[in-house]
Structure 1
Amino acid sequence: MSKKEDRRNKIISIIKENNGASVKELATKLDVSDMTIRRDIRILEEQNIVETFHGAIVYNSKIDNPINEDKYSLDSHLLIKDREKFLIGQKAASMIKEDDIIIIDTGTTTEKLSQAMDDIKCTALVFSSNNLINLLFKKNIDLIIGGGNLHRDSGMMESNQSIEMMKNIRASKLFLSAAGVHKDLGITCENSYELNSKKIIIRNSLEVILLADSSKFGAVKSTHFADLSEIDTIISDKNLSDEWQDYLKEMDIKLILV
C-alpha cells in the first residue's frame, strides 16, 4: 500500500469514528498540510466515499450499507439521511447555552446532537445508550440518567422508576425525535414503550424542539405521542417541501432548515 493510500484510509477511519471532521482537524491528526488533505478529500469525493457539508467531511455510509426498511433498528437507521441528520444535530447543538437544562430524546438524529455538543456547562437528561456514551466524558455536562431495561433496537433505557424520575425533571429545552409527522394524525414513533417518556418530557419542558429530517413529514407510525400544536421549533433539512413549510408557518411553529 502506498503512502497516499494509507493516509486516505486513515482519513476514512477518523471521519467514521468521529462522525465527521474538518480539513484542519485531519491535517493536525495526520501531521500533513491542509492542501494535502484537500487533495485527498477531492479523490475520496470522486470515489463517492466521503461528502463535504458546511466545512465538515463525513463518510458516505450508504454506499456499502444497504438498508432494510422492514424492521426498525438503531444501527440501520443511523445510515438513513445521515448527511441531513448530521447537519440537524450540529444546528441543535449550537442552540444549547450555558446553564441550560436539556432533555435529549432517544433516536438517531438526537444522537447526532449529543455527538456535536461542546463540553458546555449545562445539565442533560438522557435515557438512551448512544447519547449517554457521547456525553459521558464531557466533564462540564451534569448528566441525569434514566435507566432500566435496555431496548437494543432503539438503544432506549426504560423502566417504571425512570418514568417516575422524569416526572420531577423540568427542562429549558427538549430535543425531541419522531418517526412520523402527519398533518392529521400528529407525531408518531415506532415503539409503544417510548410513549410515556415522550409525553412526560414534552409536558415538563419550556421549549420543545423537534429534530426531524424531511423524510419523516407525511409519514405515520403506530404510536401517537404528540400533536404538532405542542411543538415550538422544528429543525429539518432543506428538502422539506414548500407545502410543509407553508403549513408549519400557518401553525406558528418556528422552522429551521439546514
Structure 2
Amino acid sequence: MLAAQRRSEIMTLLERDRIVRVSHLVNALGVSDMTIRRDLQALHEQGALEKVHGGAVVRAEPSTAEPGFEAKSARQLAQKESIAAHAAAMVRPGSAIAVSAGTTTFAFARHLLAIPGLTVVTNSVWVADLLHGARVPSHTVLLTGGVRTPSDALVGPLAIAALRSLHLDTVFMGVHGMDANAGFSTPNLLEAETNRAMIASARRMVVLADSTKWGVVGLSSMATLSTASALVTDTGLSQAARQALADDVDELVLVEPDEASRPWEDHGSPREADDLA
C-alpha cells in the first residue's frame, strides 16, 4: 500500500473516531508499528493531526485555521476522486468555467484534460500548473494574480479585479466548511472575498465538498447554501445534513466513494507516491 493511501485511511479513521491508536492501525492496515509511527509523524508535521502517546487525536482547529495543500491532500482521497469524476460529467465541451483552489478541485481538474475546448479560469496554482503541463491544444487556461495563501490559492485585489471582468458559465467551488447557518465558508478573509468575486462571475455555482465538511465553519462565509445550483458530496453525509442541504441546494448529488481509485498516481499529483510499505 502506498504511503499516500495509507495516510488517507488513517485520516478517515481519525475523522470517524476522533482518536486512533498505533496498535489498532497496525492491525487495520497490516503494516509495522514503525511504519504507522512514521505516518503519524508525517501527518503531524503537515498539521493534519495531533500526536499523543500511543496514537493521535483530531487537531483542534480555530475558525482561522488554514491547513496547507499537502495536509489536505491526505484526507478523504476516495471521496474526493468520486466527487471530482461526477462533477466533471457536468462540464460541457467548449464552455468557460472557473475552478477555485483546493484539493477536491485539483482532483476535478485532472478530469478536465479529457474535455475539449474549455476555457478555465482559476486562482489555484496547482490547477493551473496541472492544466498547463498537460498542454491540451484546445484548452485556454487563465491564472489570476494575487497573494498566495497556505492552501496555494491566489487571492486579494488583483485576483478580484481579474474575476470581476469575466462572464463564465459555471464556477466549480471547493469549500473549507458548510453549515446550515454559516453557509459555505473559509478561514481566510481574502480567499472568501476572492471566492465571492468568482461566484459572481458565473451564471451557475457547483460546490465540490466531501461529507466531512458538513458542520465545519470557517472565519468568513462566502455564500449561502441556496447560492449553489448543485452540491456534489459523498454518501457519508448524515440524514439530517442531507435534509438541511436538500431544502436549500437546487441539486444535491451523493456519490459512493471509489475505494479502488488511486488518483495520486496520475498527472503529477503533489502527494507522496514512492514510499511503499
2:143 — aligned with what?
A: 145
The question of whether the paired residues in 2 share the 8 Å contact of 1:98 and 1:120 is answered with: yes
SS at match of 2:231: strand
Structure 2: gaps (5+ residues): 6-27, 32-37, 50-58, 256-277
Deviation at 1:103, TM superposition (A): 0.3
1:230 — aligned with what?
A: 227
The Cα offsets for residues 73-103 of structure 1, whole Å up to 9 and x where unpaired, read as 1110111111111111111112111111100
Counterpart selection for 1:102 from 94, 97, 118:
97
Q: Residues 127, 227 of structure 1: CA spacing in aligned structure 2 closer, same or farther, 3 A cutoff? A: same
Deviation at 1:116, TM superposition (A): 2.1
Distance 2:84 2:215 in 1: 21
Q: Does 1:175 align with 2:155?
A: no
The question of whether the paired residues in 2 share the 8 Å contact of 1:119 and 1:138 is answered with: no
The Cα offsets for residues 77-135 of structure 1, whole Å up to 9 and x where unpaired, read as 11111111111111111211111110001111111111222252111101111101111
The question of whether the paired residues in 2 share the 8 Å contact of 1:235 and 1:257 is answered with: yes
Deviation at 1:223, TM superposition (A): 1.1
For this pair of structures, how many residues does the alignment match? Answer: 205
**RMSD between aligned alpha carbons?**
2.4
Counterpart AA for 1:110: T
2:274 — aligned with what?
A: none
Counterpart selection for 1:162 from 155, 159, 164:
159
1:21 — aligned with what?
A: none
Counterparts of 1:9-158 in structure 2, within 5 Å, are 65-66=42-43, 67-68=48-49, 69=59, 70=61, 71=65, 72-117=67-112, 118-136=114-132, 137-151=135-149, 153-158=150-155
Give TM-score, length-normalised by structure 1. 0.72
The question of whether the paired residues in 2 share the 8 Å contact of 1:103 and 1:125 is answered with: yes
Deviation at 1:143, TM superposition (A): 1.0
Distance 2:209 2:74 in 1: 15
Runs of 4+ in 1 over 6 A off after TM superposition: 46-49
Give TM-score, length-normalised by structure 2. 0.68
SS at match of 2:204: strand
Q: Residues 247, 146 of structure 1: CA spacing in aligned structure 2 closer, same or farther, 3 A cutoff? A: same
The question of whether the paired residues in 2 share the 8 Å contact of 1:175 and 1:209 is answered with: yes
Structure 1: gaps (5+ residues): 1-7, 17-45, 50-61
Which has the higher Rg, Structure 1 or Structure 2? 1
Distance 1:252 1:135 in 2: 30
Counterpart AA for 1:243: A
Structure with higher RCO (Cα < 8 A, 6+ apart): 2
